[in-house]
Amino acid sequence: MRWYAVIAALAVAVSFYALWPASDSQQLSSASKAAPSAPAAAVTPIDLLAALTEFQKTLKGSKFSVKTCASVLEETYKKIYDLRPTSLDSEKTKSQAATIVKSLFETKLLLRSRLKEFALPKEEACVSAARDIFRAGRVLEDSLGEFALEYPDDDLAQRPAAFTGGELSMLVNPQTGPFELKSGDILLSRGSAFVSAAIARLADVDSNFSHLEILYIDADGKKWTIGSHIEVGAIAQPFETYAADGKMRALVFRQADAALAHRAAEFLFKKVKAHQEATGENLPYDFAMDVTDSKEFFCSELVAHGFAEASEQKLKLPQYLSRVRMKNRNFLDRLGIKSERTFVPADIELDPRFELVAEWRDYARVNASHMQDAVLTAMYKWMDEENYVLIENASVGIKSFLAWHLRRWPVFSNLLKEKLPKNMGQNVIGAMTVLNETGEILFRHLEEANDTHFETSDFWLTPQEMLGALDRFRKEDLKKYQIYQKTRSYDPLAKRPDFHLLFRRD
């Protein structure tokens, strides 16, 4: 049975260990930085389950308050960087993997309940720190769950439907009773495309999610999901279609006022259907991600619109908007994003007015989502720190030009209707095309680096090591690009760079 892959990610566990004695932390830190010739300091292996139990005690105690929340969570999150995977009690972790996954989920519920008690009127450092803790905990759950399930095969032809599977794949809040979807439930998910990863990493604080929809149950008991998609705009589709479209993970959130939630879902269902019947087109997607515009809707905005209308503007989502700020605004400008604050899907996880009902994941694919996240994090970092921009070469330019114009010709319109909304401009088409092509190249390289690293060390790359591997690849490919630029005029066989013709300094 393979368990080595989990160890590289297990250090995330300390992001939940707030009461770790400072002397232990310093000892681990100094041991990791010691010179090769110096004897390593003796370190007591970390008992992960015990660490979680102590952190839960901290969350329940009076010392965890509005004033201490940020410092406790930030200090806890940072401890990961002082640890080495070998500092963990591997044998005990192996035997307790399934129990730890459930305990992590319980810890998440506990932290959400404390945040609800704090009733913070606006996002403060406490909420930002909680975002990091939720993300880190989810990575750990993924790794432990993969191990506990003995690494299920990624058979794309037999993907499980969302919200199905065993108890580790489907974690349910015991306070909400046996799992049952209700009309008005909010569905937070992560897709498998690079566009999904781009959305998940777009805000200042990274997240694991890219899409938000609402569930509607009609008078006949049929389940529908209503959501706005980049490719098609706002649509209502049978729940079975939603559940079977290859999601990597999905969560269910529920408003306490069941009648209000149902009205919100029913309002959106009727609005989407009415627009389709009146115009023959779907409600357009809001590429600008402008929460103040009610003519076009991105996914989170559509859900917020439903609750606002159903509550007579009394319930505005989310409680805390995310910041979307990049020093290099080239990418944001090409997408048309002007606002510095918007409602990204993961914001619902921090909204105390909605209860977390259940969390589902496809363990065969979560590792791919982590690599996608690393790729997009690296690309955004290079945009900001290296002034990189997406370059539309002649091939991409022709594709985006033809796609934009063909979508408007009646003979081709229906063929492209499910792939390309009419309000998607050529700039957006070009940017998304280059983003996807570049992302795929970087992803393939990262897969190879991950496999090579395991062959030589018996460990998968950690998130930080993934970013390091990607940056080394960038520097190598930049050299290829510079040589190519110098030699291509006289050498028809000059070796082309892997991605710098698509993504580089402007």
The helix or strand, by DSSP H or E, that contains position 299, with its residue range, turns out to be helix 299-310
Are residue 167 and residue 200 in the same domain, yes or no? yes
Are residue 189 and residue 332 in the same domain, yes or no? yes
Q: What is the pLDDT of residue 326?
A: 80
Q: What is the pLDDT of residue 229?
A: 92
Are residue 77 and residue 201 in the same domain, yes or no? no
| End position of a domain, from candidates 106, 128, 151 | 151
Range of the domain at 483: 369-505
Ordered mean pLDDT values, 10 residues apiece, the chain (506 residues) = 41 36 31 39 74 92 94 82 64 85 95 94 88 89 81 68 90 94 97 79 86 98 96 94 94 98 98 95 90 91 98 96 86 85 94 97 89 93 95 65 44 45 71 90 95 81 90 98 92 91 93
Are residue 124 and residue 42 in the same domain, yes or no? yes
Q: Residue 167 carries which DSSP code?
A: T
Smallest CA-to-CA distance from 181 within 249, 239, 124, 237 is with 239
Question: 90-118 and 48-60 helices cross at what angle (nearest 10)?
Answer: 10
Specify burial of residue 391 (Cβ count, 10 A radius: 0-12, 13-18, 19+). Answer: middle
| End position of a domain, from candidates 99, 134, 151 | 151
Are residue 334 and residue 386 in the same domain, yes or no? no
Q: In Å, what is the CA distance from 34 to each residue of 88, 464, 496?
A: 18, 20, 42
Are residue 122 and residue 166 in the same domain, yes or no? no
Q: How many helices (H) and strands (E) does the chain have?
A: 16, 11
For tokens 């009646």, the residue is 410
Are residue 303 and residue 169 in the same domain, yes or no? yes
Output the DSSP codes for 15-63.
Answer: GG-TT--HHHHHHHHHHHH--TTSPPPP-PPB-HHHHHHHHHHHHHSTT
Are residue 349 and residue 395 in the same domain, yes or no? no
The helix or strand, by DSSP H or E, that contains position 337, with its residue range, turns out to be none
| End position of a domain, from candidates 151, 167, 187 | 151
Taking 3-state DSSP, the helix, strand and coil percentages for the chain, each rounded to the nearest 5, stand at 55, 10, 35
Are residue 163 and residue 213 in the same domain, yes or no? yes
Q: What is the pLDDT of residue 154?
A: 63
Are residue 286 and residue 384 in the same domain, yes or no? no
- Which CATH number goes with the domain that contains 280? 3.90.1720.10
Q: Note the pTM of the prediction, 2 decimals.
A: 0.86
Q: How far apart are CA 245 and CA 227, in angstroms?
A: 14
Are residue 206 and residue 331 in the same domain, yes or no? yes
Q: What is the pLDDT of residue 399?
A: 58
Q: How many residues does the chain have?
A: 506
Q: Which amino acid would we find at residue 272?
A: V
Three-state DSSP class for residue 413 = helix
- The number of folded domains in the chain is 3
Are residue 262 and residue 132 in the same domain, yes or no? no
